[in-house]
Structure 1
Amino acid sequence: MINFNGQLSEHSMKTLSVSNRGLNYGDAVFETLRVSAGKILFWEDHYFRLMSSMRILRMEIPMNFTQEFLEEQVLSTIEAQDANYKTYRAKILVWRKEGGLYTPTSNDIEYAITCSPLENPFYTLDDSPCEVELFKDHYITSGILSTLKTNNKIINVLGSIYAKENDYQNCLLLNEKKQVIETLNGNLFLVKGDTIKTPPLADGCLKGVMRKQILSMFDKLLDYDFEEASISPFELQKADELFTTNVVTGITSITKYRKKEYSNSVAKELLGKLNMKARLG
């Protein structure tokens, strides 16, 4: 099922115009959600990030786009699925209405909500190998736009193709200063000794909802110091642990970068706290 501007219909029954501005100009933003047992995890953070992104892109926010309205729309879309799954990945996609070329004729928006089932109701730590490499063909330009979830993700697409062609499970993305800022699908954390680092938003990394949840947990990790600081590629092989985060998978440990193999003790410690935080809301 797809929710298009509040109307539910079968996927096969809904088509978008070739003049869609999201398709033609990347004039769209989105939120990817994890919904478990009828609850959108970290919904308030998702909602305010979406509203902030729309304001930055000068989209007109409808009066009915309240937190309660969008939550209801997401949950009703999931309830319409003919399945017995308890956990879903949902996506809210918002684009500016068609009209105009680079200059839009209107700032009004349309939206769609889609969802797909997930197997596990809790966050788990995947034991599968996750070998990464730097993706150096293209760089992300640091700035406020790179922190948003827009559908201008061609670097992530090309990086994913590169990873697939070279048998890597993920890639590390660089900004124009050749600092490591994130992975293809999440924020990056580096552990060295008793210090945990993650790149600052000023370096161009995504303003991730899961990143925010992880940051809030560090005051409970008494054995570690934390800092938001730039990460050089030279630090990667000296690190004890690397992991990436996003709201759908939670925490994914990186197991290998070139000749360096990593542990996952901090990721394991954080996973239990994350599941507790998700349950408590």
Structure 2
Amino acid sequence: MVNFNGNLLSKNTSYLNQENRGLRYGDALFEAIRVVNGKIFFWEDHYLRLMASMRILRMEIPMNFTMEFLEEQILACVDANGMLEKPARIRFTVFRNNGGLYLPQTNDVSYIIEASALESPFFTLNNDAYEVELFKDFYVNPDMLSTLKTNNKVINVVGSIFASENGYQNCLLLNQEKKVVEALNGNLFLVKDHHIKTPSLKDGCLNGIVRKKLIAILGSLDKYQFEETFISPFELQKADELFITNAISGIRPITKYRKKEYDAKVAADLLGKLNAAARLN
């Protein structure tokens, strides 16, 4: 079942057409959200990011788009799919309504909520082999739009195909200044000794929810030095650890980049603290 504008519909129901602006122009935003036993992880952060992104794209925010209303709509979809007492992945998509060419006829929006099952109720550390490479066919343009979670993800699609064709589990994206920005599906953190770095938003990375949570966690820990700053490709092979963060997986350690192999001690330490933050949220 999917929730389309408050109506629960079978997944094979035809409720969109060829005029959909998300399809035509990528005129849409989405949030990937973890829900466990009816609790939405980091819901306030997801909600505020969505509202801020809608304002940046000049979408009209409906009066009923309160935190409480959207939470009800998410949980209604979870319940309709029999996952209210299970871990679930939610994709919440907002798109501008049909009409117009590049210039829309309206700024009013519609939304779709989809639910799929997750294996674990908590973020877990996957230690399977996870090799990455730089993706250099196309570059991220570092501006405010690149920090938003829009449906314009062609570089991520082409990069994923490149990774699959070459036997990598993921790729790291570069901006036009050849700085490392992020992974195809999440933010990047680099560990060297007790110093942890992640690219800043001005470098073009996604304004990730778990990125934000980890920055707050690291700010409260004395044993690590943390810095939001650029990461050069040359630093990658000198690092002790590299890991990727997103709202579904939490923290995903990278095990290999070119000839360098990494451990995941800091990632494991931070994962426990991230799970604690999710339970308290």
Query: TM-score band (shorter)?
Result: over 0.9
Matching residue's letter, 1:219: G
State the 1:194 CA deviation: 1.7
Alpha-carbon distance in 2 for matches of 1:87, 1:139? 35
TM-score (norm 2): 0.98
Matching residue's letter, 1:123: F
Deviations 1:73-103 (A, max 9, x none): 0000000114586100001100001100000
Residue equivalent to 2:11: 11
Aligned length: 281
Q: 2:117 aligns to what SS in structure 1?
A: strand
Q: What is the 5 A alignment of 1:137-152?
A: 137-152=137-152
Q: Structure 2 vs 1, CA of residues 84 and 211 (structure 1 numbering), >3 Å: closer, same or farther?
A: closer
What stretches of structure 1 move > 2 A for 4+ residues in a row? 82-85
Q: What is the 5 A alignment of 1:248-263?
A: 248-263=248-263
State the 1:110 CA deviation: 0.7
Q: Structure 2 vs 1, CA of residues 91 and 84 (structure 1 numbering), >3 Å: closer, same or farther?
A: closer
Residue equivalent to 1:42: 42
Residue equivalent to 1:119: 119
Q: 2:61 aligns to what SS in structure 1?
A: coil
Matching residue's letter, 2:194: D
Q: Structure 2 vs 1, CA of residues 132 and 85 (structure 1 numbering), >3 Å: closer, same or farther?
A: farther
Q: Structure 2 vs 1, CA of residues 92 and 83 (structure 1 numbering), >3 Å: closer, same or farther?
A: closer
Note if 1:183 corresponds to 2:186: no
State the 1:133 CA deviation: 0.1
Q: What is the 5 A alignment of 1:61-210?
A: 61-82=61-82, 86-210=86-210
TM-score (norm 1): 0.98
State the 1:220 CA deviation: 3.4
Q: Percent identity?
A: 62
State the 1:219 CA deviation: 2.6
Q: 1:99 aligns to what SS in structure 2?
A: coil
Residue equivalent to 1:217: 217
Does the CA contact (< 8 Å) of 1:245 and 1:251 recur in 2?
Answer: yes
Does the CA contact (< 8 Å) of 2:189 and 2:243 recur in 1?
Answer: yes
Matching residue's letter, 1:267: A
Alpha-carbon distance in 2 for matches of 1:36, 1:266? 25
Alpha-carbon distance in 1 for matches of 2:265, 2:275? 16
Q: 1:19 aligns to what SS in structure 2?
A: coil
Deviations 1:117-139 (A, max 9, x none): 10100110001111000000000
Q: 1:12 aligns to what SS in structure 2?
A: coil
Does the CA contact (< 8 Å) of 1:85 and 1:117 recur in 2?
Answer: no
Matching residue's letter, 2:170: N
Does the CA contact (< 8 Å) of 2:190 and 2:242 recur in 1?
Answer: yes
Aligned-residue RMSD, C-alpha:
0.9
Matching residue's letter, 2:250: G
Matching residue's letter, 1:224: Y
Q: What is the 5 A alignment of 1:237-248?
A: 237-248=237-248
Unmatched tracts of structure 1, length 5 or more: none
